[in-house]
RNA sequence: GGCCUGUUCGUCUAGGGGUUAGGACGCGUCCCUUUCACGGACGAAACACGGGUUCGAUUCCCGUACAGGCUACCA
């Protein structure tokens, strides 16, 4: 075991908005890097020029920054191994493909896509289990293994299109020791002759990834489980390139599954279930479709990060709320689970609720102000901190400030019918009329305590218990049957408004004296 | 189909040859409270199945089932 510095990388391809599962992969890389005192790199894998989506790279960077990941080296940051975009590294890969060919580990292939299709059809007809370009079929195709040397040379010189394929050994067991899964053994006969260099001169993922990881001195590759099947191929490449000694260690993460447990989480699920699967809002530049993000849906960064960290990993203790520093401290690859993880938005909401409550008073007040402004409410700024305090225990998102506390800003226009039916009765009306009148003539300091005192006096005079009318009084003042302390509300809206609301309620719901 | 990986309450998971199989989310009941929320108490709820190994398997091994991934000149 060497003692060299840990270097990990997150290597997304800019084909659209970064999926939340990708964010989790990045997070695990980051936690590991920080825990080990290593470096976190960001590399953009844009070798497929057909799938390039404008804005995707910027989205990736913004998303990572939002969840608190700091890139030490890479795209958008720079570093000793720049450039960190594979399209800009294009000239570097060719030499390695050539070396592979020179040493007999790769070959030129000139087959057209029609010929490839025909080959697959033929194999399918012959009932071959998995039709592929491999050690048996390659001898029937047009490549530098089957064509005469001068023919190959001629085609190359003529500028015929070709790809470079890996010549996978015939009979060999390829093994790798995955940090999460242990030994994984695959027979080389099940691996096909993957294209390494495409006809446009770009490397495929397989080549680019190995060359870059080597050049960038990556020590650990932490990536999604969808890469496990091609990991043996990568091991082969490290060997053929002579880099086995410094081959990184692999850790293949379990996938994020959709809530009903069938398949990978996708944007379709988000639509159906109404929750985000992207960190940030995304507007597709081609179709104009928009997808919602955690951030815009009101999830706090800390909550999202914490939630994501626990999707497939746990510290082995009972603690669930972790700051980024605590996550780094507690994180180990050994405690990453093996099985796929279903995405449970309820847990995300719970995390958000926890973090909302922990927000400093000033932040809470600011969020409340933003919500109020969003709804064009008028208010006394001095009262905002108190309102925020009263509301903080009942919110999951900042938008709940308005949902739960609209009546701090606006008089009710309608009244909850169920509550009215159940609680609006003669006794309530009697008390509300009396209370309204009492408040109107009240000249003392208008605060919750005194206002409560006035209510008790009214109640005493009418000989009615508080529990019998409280709901109706609340209905009159807020329009709904539930909410924070009523006396505080009366203090905040003020005497005039409180009286006005009671009058309106009386007028609307009727001063019915019977029943 | 082939190859690879996985399977503990509905969900996220702890655990590990002998446990009342623990926690959290969600759900239900109760308490607190002027209501709701918060908080508290309690409760329902799991080792996929079949064979081994063993004095004893949820735990180890092998099968089966189921699930997922991969099977492109995509990553």
**pLDDT tens digits for A336-361?**
999 999 888 999 999 999 999 999 99
Which nucleotide does the CA of A338 lie closest to, via C1'? B6
Distance of CA A192 to the CA centre of its chain: 34
pLDDT at A275: 87
From residue A508, alpha-carbon distances to A353, A367, A425, A505 in Å are 36, 33, 13, 5
Which of the residues of A are catalytic? Answer: 267
Distance from residue A294 (CA) to nucleotide B72 (C1'), in Å?
Answer: 32
pLDDT mean over A18-47: 97
A 341-400, residues with C-beta < 7 Å of strand B: 341-342, 344, 346-347, 349-350, 393-394
Region of poorest pLDDT, from A23-32, A262-271, A297-306, A450-459: A262-271
A315: CB within 7 A of chain B nucleic strand: no
Total length of chain A: 515
Region of poorest pLDDT, from A232-241, A247-256, A457-466: A457-466
A 445-504, residues with C-beta < 7 Å of strand B: 466-467, 470-471, 474, 481-487
Query: A336 near A364, Cβ under 8 Å?
Result: no
- The gap between the terminal CA atoms of chain A, to the nearest Å, is 85
A 77-96, residues with C-beta < 7 Å of strand B: none
How many whole angstroms separate alpha carbon A474 and alpha carbon A468? Answer: 12
Query: A227 near A252, Cβ under 8 Å?
Result: yes
A 138-177, residues with C-beta < 7 Å of strand B: 161, 163
Query: What confidence tier does A261 reach under pLDDT thresholds 50, 70, 90?
Result: low
Query: A388 near A478, Cβ under 8 Å?
Result: no
pLDDT mean over A55-81: 97
pLDDT greater than 90 at residue A129? no
Q: Nearest-CA residue to the C1' of B10?
A: A260
pLDDT at A513: 47
Computed over every residue of chain A, the mean pLDDT equals: 94
Q: Provide the positions of strand B that have an atom within 7 A of a protein CB.
A: 1-8, 10-15, 23-26, 34-38, 67-75
Query: What confidence tier does A515 reach under pLDDT thresholds 50, 70, 90?
Result: very low
Query: Is A349 exposed, middle or buried, given 0-12, 13-18 or 19+ CB atoms closer than 10 A?
Result: middle
pLDDT greater than 90 at residue A366? yes
Region of poorest pLDDT, from A48-52, A103-107, A510-514: A510-514
For the entire predicted model, the pTM comes to 0.94
pLDDT greater than 90 at residue A493? yes
pLDDT mean over A423-437: 93
Q: pLDDT, tens digit, for every residue of A194-220? A: 999 999 999 999 999 999 999 999 999
Query: Domains plus CATH for chain A?
Result: 1-75+254-358 (3.40.50.620), 90-208 (3.90.800.10), 361-509 (1.10.10.350)
A 216-245, residues with C-beta < 7 Å of strand B: 225-230
pLDDT greater than 60 at residue A178? yes
Query: A282 near A293, Cβ under 8 Å?
Result: yes
DSSP3 helix / strand / coil % (chain A, rounded to 5): 50, 10, 40
- CA triple A306-A26-A357, angle to 5 deg: 15
Measuring CA to CA, which residue among A478, A472, A503, A481 is closest to residue A493?
A478
Which nucleotide does the CA of A110 lie closest to, via C1'? B73
A319: CB within 7 A of chain B nucleic strand: no
Q: pLDDT, tens digit, for every residue of A375-407? A: 999 999 999 999 999 999 999 999 999 999 999
Query: What confidence tier does A479 reach under pLDDT thresholds 50, 70, 90?
Result: very high
Distance from residue A139 (CA) to nucleotide B62 (C1'), in Å?
Answer: 39
How many whole angstroms separate alpha carbon A202 and alpha carbon A192? Answer: 20
Give the CA radius of gyration of chain A. 33
A212: CB within 7 A of chain B nucleic strand: no
Distance from residue A334 (CA) to nucleotide B20 (C1'), in Å?
Answer: 30
Which nucleotide does the CA of A199 lie closest to, via C1'? B73
Residue A247, C-beta contacts closer than 8 angstroms, at least 6 positions apart: A235, A238
Distance from residue A98 (CA) to nucleotide B3 (C1'), in Å?
Answer: 29
Number of Cβ within 10 Å of residue A13's Cβ equals 21
Distance from residue A185 (CA) to nucleotide B18 (C1'), in Å?
Answer: 35
How many whole angstroms separate alpha carbon A15 and alpha carbon A46? Answer: 8
Distance from residue A320 (CA) to nucleotide B41 (C1'), in Å?
Answer: 22
How many whole angstroms separate alpha carbon A348 and alpha carbon A367? Answer: 20
pLDDT mean over A158-175: 94
Q: pLDDT, tens digit, for every residue of A78-120? A: 999 999 999 999 999 999 999 999 999 999 999 999 999 999 9
Output the 3-class SS for A61-79: HHHHHHCCCCCCEECCCEC
pLDDT at A514: 42
Query: What confidence tier does A273 reach under pLDDT thresholds 50, 70, 90?
Result: confident
């Amino acid at each position: 075991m060497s003692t060299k510095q840990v270097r990990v990388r997150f290597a997304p391809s800019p084909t659209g908005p970064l999926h939340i599962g990708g964010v989790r992969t990045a997070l695990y890389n980051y936690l590991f890097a920080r825990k080990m005192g290593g470096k976190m790199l960001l590399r953009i894998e844009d070798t497929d020029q057909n799938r390039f989506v404008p804005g995707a790279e910027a989205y990736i960077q913004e998303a990572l920054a939002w969840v608190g990941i700091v890139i030490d080296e890479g795209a958008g940051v720079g570093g000793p191994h720049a450039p960190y975009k594979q399209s800009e590294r294009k000239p570097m890969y060719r030499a390695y493909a050539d070396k592979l060919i020179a040493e007999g580990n790769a070959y030129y292939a000139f087959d057209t896509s029609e010929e490839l299709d025909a080959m697959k059809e033929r194999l399918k007809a012959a009932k071959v289990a998995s039709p592929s370009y491999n050690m048996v079929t390659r001898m029937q195709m047009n490549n530098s293994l089957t064509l005469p040397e001068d023919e190959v040379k001629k085609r190359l010189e003529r500028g015929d299109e070709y790809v470079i394929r890996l010549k996978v050994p015939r009979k060999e067991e390829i093994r790798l020791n995955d940090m999460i899964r242990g030994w994984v053994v695959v027979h080389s006969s099940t691996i096909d002759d993957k294209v390494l260099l495409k006809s446009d001169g770009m490397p495929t993922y397989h080549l680019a990834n190995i060359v870059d990881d080597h050049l960038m001195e990556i020590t650990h590759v932490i990536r999604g489980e969808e890469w496990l099947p091609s990991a043996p191929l990568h091991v082969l490449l490290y060997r053929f390139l002579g880099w086995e000694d410094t081959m990184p260690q692999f850790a293949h993460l379990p996938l994020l599954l959709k809530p009903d447990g069938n398949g990978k989480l996708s944007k379709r699920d988000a639509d159906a279930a109404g929750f985000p699967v992207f960190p940030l809002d995304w507007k597709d530049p081609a179709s104009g479709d928009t997808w919602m993000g955690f951030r815009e849906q009101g999830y706090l960064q800390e909550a999202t990060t914490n939630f994501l960290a626990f999707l497939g990993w746990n510290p082995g203790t009972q603690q669930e709320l972790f700051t980024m520093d605590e996550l780094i401290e507690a994180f180990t690859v050994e405690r990453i689970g093996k099985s796929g993880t279903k995405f449970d938005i309820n847990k995300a909401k719970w995390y958000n609720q926890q973090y909302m409550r922990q927000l400093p008073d000033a932040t809470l007040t600011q969020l409340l102000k933003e919500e109020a402004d969003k709804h064009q409410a008028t208010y006394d700024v001095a009262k905002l901190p108190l309102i925020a305090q009263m509301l903080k225990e009942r919110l999951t998102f900042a938008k709940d400030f308005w949902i739960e506390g609209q009546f701090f800003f606006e008089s009710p226009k309608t009244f909850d019918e169920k509550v009215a039916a159940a609680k609006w009765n003669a006794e309530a009306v009697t008390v509300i009329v009396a209370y309204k009148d009492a408040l109107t003539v009240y000249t003392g300091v208008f605060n919750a305590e005194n206002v409560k005192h006035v209510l008790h006096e009214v109640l005493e005079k009418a000989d009615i218990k508080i529990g019998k009318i409280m709901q109706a009084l609340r209905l009159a003042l807020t329009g709904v049957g539930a909410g924070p302390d009523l006396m505080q509300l009366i203090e905040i809206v003020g005497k005039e408004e409180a009286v006005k609301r009671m009058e309106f309620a009386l007028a609307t719901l009727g001063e019915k004296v019977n029943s």
